[in-house]
Chain A
Amino acid sequence: MTTVTDMNADSYVTADGRTIGGVVMDLKNITLRFGGVVAIKDISFDIREGEIRAIIGPNGAGKSSMLNVISGFYKPQEGEVWFRGSKRPPMKPYQVARQGLARTFQNIALFDGMTVLDNIMTGRLNHMKANMFQQAIWKGKAEREELANREICEKVIDFLEIQHIRKTPVGRLPYGLKKRVELARALAAQPSLLLLDEPMAGMNVEEKEDMSRFILDMNDEFGTTIALIEHDMGVVMDLSDRVVVMDYGKKIGDGTPDEVRNNQDVIDAYLGVAHD
């Protein structure tokens, strides 16, 4: 397969006026095994620039595994990952992150000892180019960079409405706010693809509404491309442009929320029809 994905092909405008561009991430025939267990079986789908793409499915369907493949934490045995028009060679997670891919985790992964602001600043690490000496004496390039990066972080902080906790060590925050800080760190990296692993797990209705609003605004204002995993079906159908449905490691549906809702396989998977 040598075709290079044309990023500008087939762009269209959604009903609410957002422009969806070409393919950013293209997953081709991904298979992931842990020993004898097949976590993901021959799955292909793509993520387009500017869209909100959801991955749903019952527990153990392989959704998180899929996200870990995309972010480089798991290495699939078969299949290809194409990112921004070129095939991605086997990479370490930190290399994937440096390519412009940010993520959050199902079980929050934050730097508990650092303040909220410092946590968010780590999202900017890859955008700092000054050498160690310049940074140590805080002159020239280092100073300019630090200020520019601070400004971006402050913008993100404003946007996610966490000004009041900027100097608080993350370890002291309640769960809902931690989730928001994690999102802020990922957003501060200005990623070309943002992966959210169950951004609303364990939240109450009010917090879920806040989070949904942030996700939509993020996509709308910054044009961030988002792929997310979520259990709450109502939320998923409201938020996303297109949905991939997984069950037992296989893809059983792919399309707009309406298409997926009416897909017989999907209905079976969720209502629990016996597998043969």
Chain B
Amino acid sequence: MPEQLLFAMEVTLNGLMAGVLYALVALGFVLIFKASGIFNYAQGVMALFAALTLVGIQQGQVPFAHLINAIFGTEVHHFPWHVPSIIAIILAAGVMVLFAWIVEKYILQHLIGQPDIILFMATIGLAYFMEGFGDIMWGSDIKTLDVGLPQGMNMAIDEATYNMFGYGFFIDNLDIVATVVAALLVTSLVIFSQYTKQGRALRAVADDHSAALSVGISLRFIWVLVWSIAGFVALVAGIMWGAKSGVQFSLSLIALKALPVLMLGGFTSIPGAIIGGLIIGVGEQLFEFAIGPMIGGATQNWFAYVLALIFLIFRPQGLFGEKIIERV
């Protein structure tokens, strides 16, 4: 096989796996949008906050250490223990559930029946608040996240492809793990929303609040549930991205990459978020590989957005989004 084709295959595979990571972020948006019609601007910051909390718990950091030291003149920064990864993940998930409950009680409760734009603005406020709160709580230095996920080149694949084609593929172990985790997550979310009573209630709430109330669905419960799940998805995304590039402020900007994914896949479709992520991931890599050199490279920065823009013109509801039908 010619070298160029093999290289293109490798690029495609890597694109697919990068796409999975985009999809993980997009998934959080879709969940909340489906259940409450809110575009949750804070999703990216939630991923950052979740990752910060995870690292903080794991390393036994004292929350609000800077604040405490400044007020009381003390010198505390770490507890004398390290928490095992699995327990830290469970605790961080617990924090995200608590966070969901607080958001529902202190924000959403008071905005019932308000136009979507108001709710959207509230999530912008929430994003800025959490950004600062995360900093105060865990400090603003860049942290490394290590929950024991394998990293680096997968030797087995390298060897196998080398023996087959005489050219070894570079596939990152972390990307493989992310793919498996994302697949599990999506499968369970689809089963949850299609086959369980709570899932049906969730879709009902997304469509019409009054009607949902009239068949006995508690809006509060559904909102706490869906924000908790979105918080959990944020945690998973935070772990994957954090392990890849460290836990730092720029983590919250991955939310921007989720936007074109959503436009492609549709804001209301869980499978759409995955397919959208994959298309963007592969498209980005292949475009850079094939066209990049001709136009000076660095196409990854804008390719996804241009693709989304073209999509908006021809299919505004995305690939899998519900078509908006308006009878006049």
Interface residues, chain A, with chain B CB atoms under 8 Å away: 71, 73, 92-95, 97-98, 102-103, 105, 109-114, 118, 121-123, 125-126, 128, 130, 132, 135-136, 138, 169, 171-172, 174-175, 185-186, 189
Contact = CB atoms under 8 A, between A and B. Distances in A.
A77 B89 CA distance: 48
A118 B200 CA distance: 8
B213 A114 contact: no
A34 to B, nearest CB: 15
B215 interface: yes
14 contacts: A93-B213, A102-B215, A103-B214, A110-B211, A111-B211, A112-B208, A113-B268, A122-B200, A122-B201, A122-B204, A135-B195, A135-B196, A172-B325, A185-B215
Contacts of A175: 327
Contact of B213 (A97, A111, A185): A97
A71 B219 CA distance: 16
A125 B211 contact: no
B159 interface: no
Contacts of B322: 113
A105 B213 CA distance: 12
Given A105-B210, A122-B200, A128-B197, 6 more contacts: A73-B210, A93-B213, A111-B203, A113-B207, A114-B204, A136-B192
Interface string B171-215: 000000000000000001001100111101101101110111111
Contacts, number: 94
B218 interface: yes
B80 interface: no
B269 to A, nearest CB: 11
B215 A125 contact: yes
B240 to A, nearest CB: 24
A95 B327 CA distance: 33
Nearest to B324: A171
B140 to A, nearest CB: 39
B217 interface: yes
A136 B195 contact: yes
B119 to A, nearest CB: 19
Contacts of B296: none
B315 to A, nearest CB: 18
Interface string B285-328: 00000000000000000000000000000000000001001010
What 6 pairs across the A-B complex have the smallest Cβ distances? Answer: A97-B216, A109-B211, A111-B207, A93-B213, A135-B196, A126-B216
Interface in B244-294: 268
A162 B217 CA distance: 25
Contacts of B196: 132, 135-136
Interface string B203-243: 11011101111111111000000000000000000000000
Given A121-B200, A132-B196, A171 B325 contact: yes
Contacts of A109: 208, 210-211, 214
A118 B216 CA distance: 15
Interface string B62-81: 00000000000000000000
A66 to B, nearest CB: 16
A103 B212 CA distance: 11
Contacts of A123: 215
Interface of B: 188, 191-192, 195-198, 200-201, 203-204, 206-208, 210-219, 268, 322, 325, 327
Given A121-B200, A136-B191, A92 B213 contact: yes
A186 B327 CA distance: 24
A135 B217 CA distance: 17
Contact of B197 (A71, A125, A169, A174): A125
Contacts of B197: 125, 128, 130, 132, 135
B211 A126 contact: no
A71 B214 contact: yes
Nearest to A98: B216
A97 B214 CA distance: 6
Nearest to A97: B216
Given A132-B198, A136-B192, A172-B325, A125 B217 contact: yes
A122 B215 contact: yes
A114 B207 contact: yes
A73 B112 CA distance: 13
B252 to A, nearest CB: 30
B214 A102 contact: yes
Given A93-B213, A125-B215, A110 B195 contact: no
Given A121-B200, A135-B196, A136-B191, A105 B214 contact: yes
A169 B52 CA distance: 43
Contacts of A113: 203, 206-207, 268, 322
Nearest to A136: B191
Nearest to A107: B210
A191 to B, nearest CB: 10
Contact of A138 (B195, B198, B203): B195
A176 to B, nearest CB: 12
Contact of B218 (A94, A111, A112): A94
A65 to B, nearest CB: 15
A92 B218 contact: yes
Q: Interface centre among B195, B201, B206, B213, by most A CB within 10 Å?
A: B213
B33 to A, nearest CB: 12
Nearest to B268: A113
A138 B196 CA distance: 9
Contacts of B201: 122, 125
Q: Interface centre among A92, A123, A135, A138, by most B CB within 10 Å?
A: A135
